[in-house]
Amino acid sequence: MNAPVLECQSLTRWYGQVIGVSTVDCQVGPGVTGLLGLNGAGKSTLFKLMAGQLRPSLGRVLLLGHDLSHHRGLFRWIGFCPEPDALYESMTGREMLVYLLRLQGFDAPESERRAQLALDRTHLADAADRPVAGYSKGMRQKIKLAQALAHDPKVLFLDEPFNGMDPVSRYESMELIRALGREGKTVMVSSHILHEVEEMTSIILLIQNGQILAEGNIREIRDLVERHPHQVRIECEDARRLAVDLLPMEEVLGVKVEAPLRLVVETDRPRRFFGRLPHALLSSGVKVRGFQTLDDDLKSLFEYLVEDAG
Amino acid sequence: MKESGHDRHFGPVSQPPGLVPFGQVYRLVFAASVKDLIRRRRLVFIGLVCILPLLVTAMWRAFGGEHLSAEMFFSNLVSLLYLQLLIYIVALAFGVPTVHDEVEGRTITYLFTRPVSRVAVYAGRLTAVQLLAGSLLALSLVVCFGLMVIGNPGVLDLEFIRVYVNHVLIILFSTIVLTGLFSILGVAFQRPLVWGIVYAFGWEGVVAKVPGRLQTWTLDFHIRNLIMGEEDVQKGLLDTFRHLLTDQAEVSAWVSFAVLTVALVVFVYVGGVLFSRKEYVIN
Amino acid sequence: MNALRSIIRTRGLVQAYGPKIVLRGIDLDVPPGASGLLGPNGAGKSSFLRSILGLVPIREGRAEVLGLDSQRDALAIRRRIGLVPESDCLVPGMNAVEMTAYCGQLVGMARDDALERAHQVLYYVGLGEARYRDLGGYSQGMKQRLKLAQALVHDPDLLLLDEPTNGMDPPGREAILELIRDVSRNKGLHVILSTHLLPDVEETCDQVIVLHEGRVAETRPVAKSIIEAGRVFDVAGRGDFDRLRQLLMDAGHSVEDRDDGLRVTLNGALGVEPILQVAESMGEELELRHLVEAGHSLQDSFMEAVR
Amino acid sequence: MPIHDQGYRHWDGEIRQHPLRWWPIAQRGVMAVLPQRKVILLIVLAWLGPLVKGVTLYGKLRATDLLTQVLGDKGAEVGAKFFWGAIDQQGFIVLLFVVLVGSNLIAADRRFKALQLYFSKPLTPLDYILGKLGIVGTFLVLTVWMPVMLLWIFGLMIEPTAEFFGAVWFVPFSLTLYTLLLIAVAGLLILALSAVGQKGVFIAGAWIILFGYGPFQLVILLLRELSGQAFWSLLSVERDLEHVGAWFFGNATDPELHPVASLAVLLVVVAACYAVLRRRIRPVEVVL
C-alpha cells in the first residue's frame, strides 16, 4: 500500500472563536512546495498543525499514512524551522545542534558528525563554536535551518526561513532548499518574497481565509485564471504598424500603444496566441527587439487570486 | 479531489518509528538545563540574596556571640530568614522558570519537534532546577556553618551538629517540594511569577498563621512542624512564636514528613501530566 | 536654496569601535533621488548610517549630509531627515495620532502643527481609519505604516528606511514600496533604502550602493545593463524547450540553461529574427512567452561585488 | 478649478525646537501616566496627609485653647520643623509613586527598542534622560512640593504676623532645594534601574532594597546597633535623604553624623546612577 508523504484530511483549527484553518484537504509530495498567503490567512497555523505543534480541532494530519497526533515517534521524520527568532542563546551553534541531534536518538559521535555536516551545508562552520547569542540575524536563521535538516528528515517545514537574511545568505539558503528538494525530501517553505519562492519551486499552496485557494504548478494555475487576460509587452521599431498587423489575430483582445516603440497586447487564449506569435511577428516585417509577458509571474498570480477571493 | 499540476510521488508506508529512550532524553535535558541555569544572570541575583543570612551570621560572630548561643542563633536564623523568606525566593526563582524559560524564550518548539516523551523533558528540567536551587541554599548554609565555627571551636558540640544537620536537611527537602509546586505554575500559567508570589506570600504567609486546622493545609505549617518536632531548640524567638499561636494544631513530625513527601510526588506527577498535555501557542 | 549635487558626500570616512575597524575609508557621493544601500551582514551599512547621522564619532575623514557636517551639525541633520528604523520601536499605550504628533514635537514642531500634520500623514500612509486605536493592537503592516508616518511628519528632505517591508505580506509590501516611490519620484524627497531585499531596491530606487567589508564595492544604476545589444537573449515559455535548445544549437548558436529558460548567444546576424524563425518552425507546440535581451541583474552584480 | 492632490503634501511650517529639547518627552510622559486610575488614586491619597496637616495647622495657630488640650502642643511651636514633618510623612507615598511611574519609563523603551526613534530625532542622550526625569519629577512636585507649599501659604494666610513669618520664611527655599535633591536621587535611581532591568518585579524589588526599605534597612540598623558605628546608616539612601532634608529645615536628626556626609553619599549615588544611565542609553543602538 502506498500513501502520500503528507496528507491533511479536513483539517480544522480554532483558537477560541477565531478560526485559524478551516477544512483543509491537501496532499504534499516530494520536492519543494511554497506555502503562500496574506498575513493572518492561516499559514502559520497550517504549518504548526502539519508539523504536529498544534492539535487539530477537527480532522487529522497523516505522515506516510500515520496519524501525527498519535505517534510522537514520527518526529524522527520531521524537520521544523520555526518562524520566531528563538535559540538556546547560551549554547554555541555546534552545542545546540548536537543537543538536538542527540534528542533525535543519535549517539554522541554520530551527532557530532551530523552536526558538522549540517553546519557545512548551511555555511556556518566558521561560526560553529561561538555562542549563538553573538550571531547575526542571518546566522541565526541558518542555525535554525541547520537543526531542521541535521537529522535527515523526510519532511521539512520551513516557516519564513529567509527573514532577516542578507542577500548572500538568502542565495545560499535557496540553493540549499532546492538541493533538498532534488534529493527527494518533501520541503514546505513559506515566504512573503514571491520572487524567491518562484526561484525555488514552481509548485505552490496558496491559503486564504484559512482555506486552500489554489494548489499546484504556478503556470498551470495562471492559465486557469481566465478573468485576467495575459498581457504581452513588445518592443519594436514601429509600434503602431505592428499593432495594425497583430489586431486581426483572433486570440488578441486588444492592443495598446504605450510609446512609439512599445505596445502591449492582451490575449485571453494564451496557448494559441504564444504558439502563433513568432509567425505573426516575422510576417509583419516590423523589426522587433524583444517581448515579455507582463503578468506571468507569481506576483501577478498572487494578486489576481487573492483579489478575486476577496 | 482537485486536479492539480504535479506528481505526488507516493512513498511506501512503513511502521512509525518509536520514541527515543526515556533515560537518554532525561539525561540530556538534565545536563543541558544545568548548564543553561549556571550561565543565567538569575543565579547571580539569587546568590546575592543568599548572602543575606551570612551577613547576619557575621554580625552574630562579631558582636552577639556572648548573648546568644550557637544553637539558638542558628535555629532563629533558619526559622526567620531561611524558612520564611529564602526558600520561597529560591524556589520561586528556580521553580517557576522550569518550563517557562523555554516557553517564554520560545525554544520549547525545538523540544516538541523531537521524538521524545514530554514527561522525560519535564523530569530532566525539574531535577536540574531542584539541584541548582538546593545547591545554592546548601552552599549558603555551609558558608554559614564555617562562619560560625572557624576560630570558634567552642560551639562545636554534638548538640549543635545535630541541630545543624537536621535543619539543613529540612531546608533542602522543603525547597525541593516547593520547587515542584512552583514549576507547575510555570507549566500552567502565562504569568506564573505573579501567581507564585500570591501563593508564597499570600496563602502560605497568611493562612499558616491562622490558628486552627486551616493551617494544616499549608506547606509552611508542615515544614515548620518538622522543626517544631525538635524538642530542645524551641527556646529563642521560635518559642515566642509558638506561644502566640495559642491554638497550634497538633500534628506529629512524621505525619508532616509524610504529607510533604506525598505532596512532592503529587506535584511532580501533576506537572508532568500537565506538561505533556498542554499545548503552547507560540507566535 | 541651490540644488544639491549630492545629498550625502563622504571623503575617506573611517569608523571604528575600539580596535575593530568597520568602515575602511569610504568616498561616496550619493546623488539626489532614491538610492538602495545593499551589503551582507557586517558590511558596514549600519555603521555608515550611524556616522552620517552623527550618532558615533568618526575616526577619520568627513561626512556631509544635505550639505551639513555630520559631526558638527548632527542635530541639524536629524531635523531634516526622517528615519524608519528596522525594529518594532513602538511602545503600546498611545494611538497613532499621539505617536506621530509626539515624534513631530520631538523634532521641534509646535504641538498644534504636529497634530494637524499627524492626521495628514496618517491618511497618506493609509492609517486614516485606525488612527485612534492603540498601536499595541496593530498588525505588522500597520506598524510599518506608522513608522513611515512618524518619519514623514516633519516633512524631511531625506528619508532613511531600514528594512521597511520586513515581515509584510505581498500586498502590504507593494503598498509601502508604492509610498516610497511616490515621495521620491513625485514629491522630491531623497530616499535611502537599506535592505536585504534586492527586489525592493529594484522597484523603488534609481541607483544602488553596495558596501562590502567596510568599503564601497559598487555603485550602479538599478536598471539592468544589457550584456551585448542584439546578441544575447533570454527566452522562456512553455512547451518542448529541449527541442528548441537542440534546434538553436543546430543553427550554430550557443545555448545555456537558466533557471526558467534558456540564454541564447547568437552566432552571426544580430536581432531576434533567428530565434523567432526557429520558434516558428516548431509551430504551436512551443509557446514562447519571453524573448528579451539578456542583462546583468542586480542579483548578479551584487553577488559579484561581494564575492 | 483645480483638483487638489490628496497624496503627500509638503509642510512649509517652521521647525522651532523648544529651547529645552527634553520638554516634549516629559510632557508626553506625564500625559500618558496621568489618566491611569491607580495614579489618580495615589495622588488623592498623597494629598490626604497634607490635608490633615492643614487642619492641624489651623488648630495649632487659631483654635489654640481647644486644641492645645487635645494635642498637648503649643501654637508657638509651629515652625519650619512642622513643614518638614509634612514632607517626611509623604515618604511612603513617594516610594510608591516613584516605583509606579518610573519603573517602566526606560525599560519599556528598551523592550520595544524605542530608543531608535528618539535618537533619530534631534535629541542627545542627556535630553532623553532629562525628559524621563521630568516625568518622575512632575509627580514628586505634585505630591511633595505643591501640598507643602500650599500648606505654607495657608499658614501665612491665617497667621500673617512678622513673628511667624520670621520663623518660616525660608521654607519655600528649603522645600524647593529638598524636592530637587529628591528628584535627582530617587528619579535617577529608578531610571538607572529601569535602564538595567527588564522585568517590573525585579526593578521594583531592587528599588526597595537600594532605596533602603525592608530587610536591607533592618540589616543596616542592626549593624549600627551592634557595632556602635554611626556611619553604617549612610548606606541607606532613604535615611540619608531624611537626614539632609531635616538639616535643610534647620534641625538635623542624627547627632552622631554630619549631614554633609549624608549629602556626599547622595551625590555619589546621583553620579553613579547617571553613569549607569549614560552607559545603557547610547545612540549607537539606533541603527542596528
Contact C182 D112 (CB under 8 A): no
Statement to judge: residues C237 and C260 lie in one domain: yes
Contacts of D125 in chain C (CB under 8 A): none
pLDDT in tens, A47-60: 999 999 999 999 99
Structural domains in chain D (count) = 1
Statement to judge: residues C236 and C205 lie in one domain: no
> What 8-state DSSP symbol labels residue D254?
-
Tally B–D CB contacts below 8 A.
17
CB nearest to C40's CB, from A167, A282, A292: A167
Contact B56 D222 (CB under 8 A): yes
Statement to judge: residues C190 and C253 lie in one domain: no
Mean pLDDT of chain C: 90
Nearest to A167 by CA among C173, C260, C45: C45
* Burial class (CB within 10 angstroms; exposed 0-12, middle 13-18, buried 19+) of C92: exposed
Residue of C nearest to A200 (CA): C259
Give ipTM to 2 decimals.
0.84
Q: Establish if D53 belongs to a structural domain.
A: yes
User: Residue B267: how many CB atoms within 10 A of its CB?
Assistant: 21
Contact A275 C140 (CB under 8 A): no
pLDDT in tens, D173-191: 999 999 999 999 999 999 9
Spans of chain A below 50 pLDDT: 1
Q: Residue B234 pLDDT more than 80?
A: no
3-class secondary structure, C233: strand
Smallest CA–CA separation between B188 and chain D, in Å?
A: 20
Among B6-15, C190-199, D77-86, name the one with the lowest average pLDDT: B6-15
Residue C89's pLDDT band, with cuts at 50, 70 and 90, is confident
Q: Establish if D8 belongs to a structural domain.
A: no
Average pLDDT over residues B32-38: 93
Statement to judge: residues C44 and C75 lie in one domain: yes
Full domain range(s) for residue D78:
20-280
Spans of chain D below 70 pLDDT: 1-2, 4, 63-77, 212-219, 222-223, 226-227, 284-288
The enclosing domain of C294 has a CATH number of: 3.30.70
pTM of structure = 0.87
Predicted confidence at residue C283, as pLDDT, reads 83
Q: Establish if C170 belongs to a structural domain.
A: no
Question: Which grid cell is B130?
Answer: 531542584
The enclosing domain of C30 has a CATH number of: 3.40.50.300
**Contacts of B among chains (3+ CB pairs under 8 A):** A, D
Statement to judge: residues C60 and C187 lie in one domain: yes
CB nearest to B193's CB, from D201, D215, D219: D201
Higher pLDDT: C55 or C104? It is C104
Smallest CA–CA separation between B132 and chain D, in Å?
A: 20
Residue B131's pLDDT band, with cuts at 50, 70 and 90, is very high
Q: Establish if D285 belongs to a structural domain.
A: no
Q: Establish if C104 belongs to a structural domain.
A: yes
Please tell me the distance from the alpha carbon of residue B57 to that of residue C85, in angstroms, as a whole number. 53
Average pLDDT over residues B80-89: 84
Residue of D nearest to B46 (CA): D202
Cell 518610573 belongs to D102
Chains C and B touch (3+ CB pairs under 8 A): no
Q: Establish if D15 belongs to a structural domain.
A: no
pLDDT in tens, A112-155: 999 999 999 999 999 999 999 989 888 999 999 999 999 999 99
Contact A221 B5 (CB under 8 A): yes
Mean pLDDT of chain D: 84
Share of chain B above pLDDT 90, in %: 37
Higher pLDDT: D277 or B152? It is D277
Contacts of B37 in chain A (CB under 8 A): none
A6-220: CATH topology: Rossmann fold (3.40.50)
Mutating which of B22, B109, B118 best tests the A interface, going by the most A Cβ atoms within 10 A? Answer: B109
User: Residue B48: how many CB atoms within 10 A of its CB?
Assistant: 10
Q: Residue B266 pLDDT more than 70?
A: yes
Share of chain C above pLDDT 90, in %: 55
SS (H, E, C) chain A: CEECCEEEEEEEEEECCEEEEEEEEEEECCEEEEEECCCCCCHHHHHHHHCCCCCCCEEEEEECCEECCCCHHHHHHEEEECCCCCCCCCCEHHHHHHHHHHCCCCCHHHHHHHHHHHHHHCCCHHHCCCEHHHCCHHHHHHHHHHHHHCCCCCEEEEECCCCCCCHHHHHHHHHHHHHHHHCCCEEEEECCCHHHHHHHCCEEEEEECCEEEEEEEHHHHHHHCCCCCEEEEEEECCHHHHHHHHCCCCCEEEEEEEECCEEEEEECCHHHHHHHHHHHHHHHCCCEEEEEECCCCHHHHHHHHHHHHC
Statement to judge: residues C76 and C2 lie in one domain: yes
Predicted confidence at residue C4, as pLDDT, reads 65
Among A71-85, B204-218, C224-238, name the one with the lowest average pLDDT: B204-218
Statement to judge: residues C59 and C29 lie in one domain: yes
Share of chain C above pLDDT 70, in %: 99
Full domain range(s) for residue C91:
84-156
Residue C2's pLDDT band, with cuts at 50, 70 and 90, is very low
b/e burial code for range A212-235 (CB count within 10 A of at least 16 → b): bbbbbebbbbbeebeebbbbbbbb
b/e burial code for range B90-126 (CB count within 10 A of at least 16 → b): bbbbbbbbbbbbbbebbbbbbbbbbbbbbbbbbbbbb
Strand partners, C14: C24, C60
Q: Establish if D149 belongs to a structural domain.
A: yes
Please tell me the distance from the alpha carbon of residue C187 to that of residue B32, in angstroms, as a whole number. 57
Q: Establish if C283 belongs to a structural domain.
A: yes
Predicted confidence at residue D235, as pLDDT, reads 80
Q: Establish if D286 belongs to a structural domain.
A: no
CB nearest to C272's CB, from A138, A272, A290: A290
Smallest CA–CA separation between B226 and chain D, in Å?
A: 26
Cell 532645594 belongs to D177
pLDDT in tens, C285-297: 888 899 998 888 8
Structural domains in chain C (count) = 3
Residue B233's pLDDT band, with cuts at 50, 70 and 90, is very low
Mean pLDDT of chain B: 82
Q: Residue B243 pLDDT more than 70?
A: no
Contacts of C276 in chain A (CB under 8 A): 278, 281-282, 288
DSSP string, B193-241: HHHHHIIIIIIIIIITTS-SGGGGGSHHHHHHHHHHT-STT--HHHHHH
SS (H, E, C) B130-178: HHHHHHHHHHHHHHHHHHHHCCCHHHCCHHHHHHHHHHHHHHHHHHHHH
Please indicate if any CB of chain A lies within 8 Å of the CB of B281: yes
Question: Which residue type does C87 have?
Answer: S
**Contacts of C among chains (3+ CB pairs under 8 A):** A, D
Longest dimension (CA), chain A: 74
Could you state, in order of their start, the residue ranges of all structural domains in chain A? 6-220, 229-294
Q: Establish if D13 belongs to a structural domain.
A: no
Contacts of B9 in chain A (CB under 8 A): 5, 29-31, 184
Please tell me the distance from the alpha carbon of residue A273 to that of residue C237, in angstroms, as a whole number. 12
CATH 3.30.70.100 for domain A229-294, yes or no, is yes
Among B28-42, B82-96, C221-235, D218-232, name the one with the lowest average pLDDT: D218-232
Cell 540619608 belongs to D240
> What 8-state DSSP symbol labels residue C95?
B
CB nearest to A281's CB, from C168, C276, C286: C276
CB nearest to A53's CB, from B13, B113, B117: B113
Residue of A nearest to B112 (CA): A53
Q: Establish if C254 belongs to a structural domain.
A: yes
Predicted confidence at residue B11, as pLDDT, reads 52
Predicted confidence at residue D249, as pLDDT, reads 87
